[in-house]
Amino acid sequence: MIYTDKDFVLLYAHNVPVKGDDEGVIYDLQKGRLLYIPADIVDVFNDSRELNMGQLKKKYVPSDESVMDQYMEYFIGQDWAFVTNNPERYPALDFSHCRIPSLIYNAIVDVGPWTSKTVEQLSACNCKFMDLMLDQIETVSLLPSIAKTIDTSTIIKYNLYCKVDMDLEKMKQLLKSVKGIKFSKMLVSKNSTAGQKLSVDGLPSDKIVLVDQEKPLGKKYVSYQYFAEALYYDTYRHKKIYVDRHGYIYNVPGDNRKLGNISSDNLRKICKGKEYLNISNRPNPE
């Protein structure tokens, strides 16, 4: 054992834990790393300056203390944490006044006739990350013009999520049609016809990623550069926006509260409005 029950195990100051709805993330501000962890581990590290290892084990894993040891040995071995008997010597970073200027930094947008205008308005809100949702094969033809709009926007990373259940041949045609478009990844459902085939035969491009269609998108696209906001707000809803293919604006997919329509409303004005802020600024779950 690399520590005793009387020792404290602390994250290095540049490794900052943030708790989300159902999981946590440690942001390494020095090396630019992200480590996804169980949400309970965030609570452990939040207590680690006040409670030594023996006290943490009794509080969080009284029935099987070896679980805590396995986690801590991993964090120490991978240079996320260290052992000390004097935690007061290593103060945590203060992010109480840290904010970013973006009105929106994550967007999920269904590909449709209003998508290019949506991208323009997202850029006016200094949006940085976007998921493009392709759920109709007819809208593939819109992608080149949308891509041109993205190239002159503030968006620095976007993924193309293919929700159309197409066969492998149509998938190849789609890849050919979007050749030259600089999306980061193309996400394909494992349960789709093409996805099942690709699972067996292998992926033809390193830009294709097979995903579980049931999992909500947008939760893991918070750059480590903007982690500080996630310390205070619900990371699923905060500064997020969803625009469907008809142009209707929502906070996130599955939310039935329409905030406006991109065809007639100003997105920047909506994101400064009381209705959006009441939803977006929900406190981070305890």
106 versus 236: the higher-pLDDT residue is 106
Average pLDDT of the chain to the nearest whole number = 81
Mark 183-217 as b/e (b = at least 16 C-beta within 10 Å): bbbbbbbeebebbeebeeeeeeeebbebbebeeeb
214 versus 147: the higher-pLDDT residue is 147
Contact between 134 and 104 under an 8 Å Cβ cutoff? The reply is: no
Q: Is the pTM of this model over 0.95?
A: no
Phi, psi of 141 (to 5 degrees): -65, -20
34 pLDDT band (50/70/90 cuts)?
Answer: confident
Contact between 267 and 249 under an 8 Å Cβ cutoff? The reply is: yes
Q: What confidence tens digit (pLDDT) does each residue in 131-151 have?
A: 888 877 778 778 878 888 888
106 versus 19: the higher-pLDDT residue is 106
pLDDT on residue 76: 96
Selection from 149, 222, 215 nearest residue 182 by Cα: 149
Q: Which residue has the tokens 């039935």?
A: 256
The angle that helices 143-151 and 115-124 make with each other, rounded to 10 degrees, is 10
Q: What confidence tens digit (pLDDT) does each residue in 200-213 have?
A: 555 555 566 666 65
Q: Give the N- to C-terminal CA distance of the chain in Å, as an integer.
A: 32
Selection from 142, 95, 106 nearest residue 221 by Cα: 106
Position 39 pLDDT exceeds 60: yes
